[in-house]
């Protein structure tokens, strides 16, 4: 395994930075027409009438789709809001689609559509909805779980923390907006779609249109960021397919930036009550984590904020509770470490508050309650070396030099604060298949229907295949993002590497064995007659073990053979989850500086060390950790979707007013990983790294701000107005 872990430069890097990597909206399809959505300006009610005459008369317009004339879909669900009826459930819901010869003509005509509404009173008050809130589940896991007797644990506690932490609505805002091109050929549909799962998209769309899955092909060669918003199927792609069917032309639909605020998911608002009990010497006696999160009135999505609380610390009495509050907002969904990012913010700030009450170092408190086994299931972890993360990260950061007293570390007028937190994310994998084909022309195709969402999967697949085959990576062409390829799971939940690479590895090993058998049986090969298990391949050269003179390049062999040599694999997860728990962990330390007068916190440096299984590519892994931490800074200080309370319309639905960090907001980031393989989860030993960086980081920054200023802000984001 020489290539695994190597800092191979992204194989698609050049294509991306030179603009030749083709994203969905960039495909040029002959005869394509352009669709633009008209969206609602009420949060609840019905479309009572629509004046489309001016739009229909406008130059270039092919059709104006409305609830009155749209094709009825046999498999339509209420959640998808694709004009199937006149109901409006949230602001910015599609109510009409204008299709025209050019994008500009469609945009212009869309502005000419006049919509009348019968508005109903909308549910928009989050906290007023608590009494009628109800339980839910997340990915099939119940929202309510626990062990021991949490009330007894709190009663016996010598020191307690009871606080409420709140996080606002977030919108994913990938750079690439949701986009689709739909092309019908009879009842066969080809979709170019910016999706995190070509497979799920195919089955959902097929069901909606009432056609066999095999009639639908979905293509997504590059996805310009998803962050969870491109996992579920939302209205835009279905509307593109509807419009294409109705105008009998290929149709391209690209969501406008403000339209990203409503119809394509969001991280829901959370209200989290944390009750911690501990003995005087810092042993936790109880953790109670009660979460309210909003959902929509048309679908339940549960932000699983307290799930991480179930694995974090050794504690005899734990209770986690989630309640859903339905509001007239677009359905929320998975967003950047769903549940865990918001939940670890609350839990890890509460732990910091407890440390101060105990007059104990926050790191020492974590070590005191270190969970050697999964505290809920009592199962061992597949591998866990979090204590080593704490040790390395604290040493690199210089934590020992911290003065505990808030406001005690100063540089002139500047207050300096240090904070830390534990990070975690569950490790999972899903069934995946792959194909490796050694072609007569000497190129190697490695294929799996996974998606490149910035995670580097093209590169890691190249490395794994090259390593297994003994063939240079330059000869490998990775094919992904197409439902005609062997099916792979959704690119989400930090699962891609653990799911895809074992399948690629096994398919490559099979192809390699077939290749060596071919050499052995080929009368024209210098290796003829040598048993396949006595052959080896390195750098593309097949040789006989112990007979250095006998060698042949695989390309010569294949050229002579004239037929491809293949390997296939289709793998299912084989970890017995009744016997093991598998989670990644990490430790994050942050330093903030703040002029107490003007109250603008700056994150000067972040140090984190991760225990995430084997690192498959040192370079892309570094990028993913850094990206996660940048989102953690964003969670702590910036992201906040503001809602206009009377109308339920999002106030800041653009990137000037919805803040994500700029380069100037990001200080020094020092990330590293233990790189301890975890072969119990998957044969490659990798656990996935995409999301862990955002977890804990929000809390580490919030804790650093408290350490700097003595102000405990329990409502994200932490902006200057909350610090004066």
Residues 69-108 that bind another protein (CB under 8 A): 91-92, 104, 107-108
Q: How far is the CB of 107 from another protein (least distance, A)?
A: 6
Instruction: Copy the structure tokens of residue 669.
Output: 């980031």
Question: Strand 188-193 vs strand 216-219: parallel, antiparallel, or unpaired?
Answer: parallel
Work out which of 160, 659, 711, 712 binds another protein, going by CB under 8 A. 659
**What's the number of CA atoms in the CB half-sphere (13 Å) around residue 329?**
33
Q: How far is the CB of 722 from another protein (least distance, A)?
A: 8
Q: How far is the CB of 453 from another protein (least distance, A)?
A: 25
- Clarify whether 405 is annotated catalytic: no
Listed ranges 226-234, 510-518, 605-613, 663-671: which one lies at the site for another protein (CB under 8 A): 663-671
* Contact pattern from residue 401 through residue 430 relative to another protein, giving x for each residue in contact according to CB under 8 A and a dash for the rest: ------------x-----------------
Q: How far is the CB of 236 from another protein (least distance, A)?
A: 18
How far is it between the farthest Cα atoms of the chain? 85
Cα–Cα distance, 538 to 555 (Å, whole number): 13
Kindly state whether residue 162 participates in binding another protein, applying the rule CB under 8 A: no
| Sign, Cα dihedral of 658, 662, 668, 671 | positive
Listed ranges 16-24, 80-88, 496-504, 716-724: which one lies at the site for another protein (CB under 8 A): 716-724
> With respect to another protein, which residue has the nearer C-beta, 316 or 723?
723
Which of 261-270 are b and which e, b meaning 16 or more Cβ less than 10 Å from the residue's Cβ?
A: bbbbbbbbbb
From 423, 452, 639, 691, the catalytic residue: 691
C-alpha R_g of the chain? 27
* Contact pattern from residue 562 through residue 601 relative to another protein, giving x for each residue in contact according to CB under 8 A and a dash for the rest: ---------------------------------x-xxxx-
Work out which of 213, 247, 651, 683 binds another protein, going by CB under 8 A. 651
Give the DSSP per-residue string, 577-643: TTT-B-EEEEEEEEEEEE-TTT---EEEEEEEEEE-B--SBHHHHHHHHHHHHHHHHHHHHT--B-B
* Contact pattern from residue 617 through residue 646 relative to another protein, giving x for each residue in contact according to CB under 8 A and a dash for the rest: --------------------xx---xxxxx
Cα–Cα distance, 277 to 149 (Å, whole number): 12
Q: How far is the CB of 595 from another protein (least distance, A)?
A: 7
- The order of strands in the sheet holding 94-100 is 61-65, 94-100, 33-39, 251-254, 179-185, 188-193, 216-219
Q: How far is the CB of 418 from another protein (least distance, A)?
A: 20
Residues 245-274 that bind another protein (CB under 8 A): 258
What's the 3-state SS for 97-126? EEEECCHHHHHHHHHHCEEEEEECCCCCCC
Instruction: Copy the structure tokens of residue 201.
Output: 């998209």
Number of residues that bind another protein (CB under 8 A): 42
Residues 30-69 that bind another protein (CB under 8 A): 39, 41
Instruction: Copy the structure tokens of residue 3.
Output: 């290539």
Q: How far is the CB of 719 from another protein (least distance, A)?
A: 5
- List CB contacts of 520: < 8 A, sequence separation 6 or more: 527, 528, 529, 530, 531, 532, 535
> With respect to another protein, which residue has the nearer C-beta, 589 or 650?
650
Q: What residues are paired with 118 via a beta bridge? A: 46
Please list the active-site residues.
Answer: 691
Residues that bind another protein (CB under 8 A): 39, 41, 91-92, 104, 107-108, 111, 258, 413, 595, 597-600, 602, 637-638, 642-647, 649, 651-654, 656-657, 659, 661-665, 717, 719-721, 724
């Amino acid at each position: 395994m020489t290539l695994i872990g190597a800092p191979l430069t992204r194989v698609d890097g050049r294509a991306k930075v030179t603009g030749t990597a083709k994203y969905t909206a960039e495909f040029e399809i002959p005869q394509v027409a352009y669709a633009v959505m008209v969206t609602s300006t009420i949060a609840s009610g019905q479309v009572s009438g629509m004046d489309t005459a001016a739009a229909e008369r406008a130059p270039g317009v092919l059709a104006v789709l409305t609830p009155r004339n749209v094709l009825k879909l046999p498999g339509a669900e209420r959640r998808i809001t694709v004009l199937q009826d006149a109901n409006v459930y949230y602001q910015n819901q599609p109510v009409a689609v204008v299709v025209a010869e050019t994008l500009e003509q469609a945009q212009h005509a869309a502005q000419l559509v006049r919509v009348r509404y019968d508005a109903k009173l909308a549910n928009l008050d989050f906290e007023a909805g608590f009494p009628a809130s109800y339980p839910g589940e997340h990915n099939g896991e119940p929202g309510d779980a626990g062990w021991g007797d949490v009330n007894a644990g709190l009663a016996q506690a010598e020191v307690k923390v009871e606080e409420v932490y709140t996080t606002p609505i977030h919108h994913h805002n990938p750079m690439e907006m949701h986009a689709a091109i739909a092309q019908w050929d009879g009842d066969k549909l080809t979709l170019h779609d910016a999706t995190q799962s070509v497979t799920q998209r195919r089955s959902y769309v097929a069901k909606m249109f009432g056609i066999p899955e095999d009639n639908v092909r979905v293509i997504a060669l590059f996805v310009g960021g998803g962050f969870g918003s491109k996992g579920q199927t939302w209205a835009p792609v279905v509307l593109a397919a509807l419009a294409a069917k109705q105008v009998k032309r290929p149709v391209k639909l690209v969501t406008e930036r403000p339209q990203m605020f409503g119809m394509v998911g969001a991280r829901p608002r959370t209200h989290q009550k944390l009750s911690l009990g501990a003995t005087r010497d810092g042993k936790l006696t109880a953790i109670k984590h009660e979460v309210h999160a909003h959902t929509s009135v048309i679908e339940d999505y549960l932000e699983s904020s307290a799930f991480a609380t179930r694995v974090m610390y050794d504690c005899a009495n734990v209770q986690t509770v989630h309640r859903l509050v339905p509001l007239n907002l677009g359905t929320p969904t998975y967003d950047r470490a769903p549940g865990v990012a918001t939940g670890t913010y609350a839990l890890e700030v509460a732990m910091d508050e407890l440390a101060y009450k105990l007059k104990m170092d926050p790191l020492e408190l974590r070590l005191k309650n270190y969970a050697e086994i999964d505290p809920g299931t009592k199962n061992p972890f597949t591998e866990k070396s979090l204590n080593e993360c704490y040790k390395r990260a604290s040493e690199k950061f210089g934590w020992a030099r911290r003065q505990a007293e808030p406001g005690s570390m100063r540089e002139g007028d500047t207050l300096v604060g240090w904070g830390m937190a534990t990070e975690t994310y569950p490790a999972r994998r899903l069934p995946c298949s792959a194909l490796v084909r050694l072609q007569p022309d000497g190129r190697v195709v490695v294929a799996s229907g996974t998606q490149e969402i910035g995670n580097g999967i093209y590169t890691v697949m190249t490395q794994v295949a090259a390593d297994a085959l003994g063939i240079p990576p330059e000869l490998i062409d990775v094919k992904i993002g197409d439902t005609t390829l062997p099916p792979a799971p959704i690119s989400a939940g930090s699962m891609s590497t653990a799911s895809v690479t074992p399948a690629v590895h096994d398919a490559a090993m099979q192809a390699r064995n077939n290749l060596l058998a071919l050499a052995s049986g080929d009368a024209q090969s210098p290796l003829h007659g040598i048993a396949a298990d006595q052959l080896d391949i390195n750098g593309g050269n097949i040789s006989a073990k112990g007979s250095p003179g006998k060698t042949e390049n695989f390309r010569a062999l294949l050229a002579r053979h004239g037929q491809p040599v293949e390997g296939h694999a289709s793998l299912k997860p084989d970890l017995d989850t009744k016997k093991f728990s598998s989670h990644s962990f990490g430790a994050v330390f942050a330093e903030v500086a703040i002029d107490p007068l003007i109250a603008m916190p700056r994150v000067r440096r972040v140090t984190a060390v991760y225990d995430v299984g084997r690192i498959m590519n040192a370079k892309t892994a570094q990028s993913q950790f850094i990206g996660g931490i940048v989102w953690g800074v964003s969670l702590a200080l910036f992201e906040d979707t503001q809602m206009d309370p009377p109308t339920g319309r999002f106030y800041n639905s653009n990137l000037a007013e919805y803040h994500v960090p700029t380069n100037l907001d990001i200080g020094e980031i020092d990330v590293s990983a233990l790189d301890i393989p975890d072969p119990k989860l998957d044969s490659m030993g990798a656990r996935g790294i995409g999301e862990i960086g955002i977890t804990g980081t929000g809390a580490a920054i919030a804790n650093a701000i408290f350490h700097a200023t003595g102000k405990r802000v329990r409502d994200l984001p932490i902006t200057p107005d909350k610090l004066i």
